[in-house]
Structure 1
Amino acid sequence: MAEYSSPFASGPGGVMTDDVGVITGDLELRTEAGEDGLVSVYVRYEEADEWYRLRGASCVVHDPRDHRALHMALLGVLNRPAG
């Protein structure tokens, strides 16, 4: 299984999770791609223990090299630091 993880700052509305609803603030994004190409997407409060599934973000990649590009695209959409 391949995995990427990156810190980011959520925007004013935060991000929606399947597990606990909206979370805000300094967060971390993690994507995991299995051998079958299924990519699972999680977020957590920065340096917390518990991960939450990001609503509507799981998908399938047909080429394992696309996993990193998908992770970076999600990070670009989610990262909205104040300023």
Structure 2
Amino acid sequence: MTGSEPAVCQDKVTAGPGGAMTVEVGFITGDLTLRTSRRTDGLVHVAVQYPGVEEWYTLTGSPTPVPDGALQTIHTTVLTAVENGGQAETPA
């Protein structure tokens, strides 16, 4: 991991039609928090959460390999995908 890469990227997002596809519960819709973080094994984990609850749901396709220094880039890509909906997943 590079020194310039943030530990975690997190944003609020409203999932578009068709929502975001999760491992645990299938697709979810509505207002969400999207969190992207690099694990200790170097893979990137992407999860979503409804406001006001503690449980996080892993976005399908996560964890995924992402080059060092590209955490913000993958976060922005996934954020846009969730905004667009269509059962958005983490890109491979």
Measured against the shorter chain, the TM-score band is: 0.7 to 0.9
Tell me which residue corresponds to 1:16: 21
How is 1:49-68 mapped onto 2 (pairs within 5 angstroms)?
Answer: 49-63=54-68, 65-68=69-72
1:8-57 CA-partner distances (Å, limit 9, x unpaired): 00112111111111111001111110243200110011232110000114
TM-score calculated relative to the size of structure 1: 0.83
Share of identical aligned residues, percent? Answer: 41
- Structure 2: state its 5+ residue gaps: 1-5, 86-92
**Hey, what does 2:34 align to over in structure 1?**
29
Aligned residues: 80
TM-score by length of 2: 0.76
- Give every structure 1 segment of 4 or more consecutive aligned residues whose post-TM-superposition deviation is greater than 3 Å: none
Structure 1 spans left out of the alignment, 5+ residues:
none
Match in the other structure for 1:73: 77
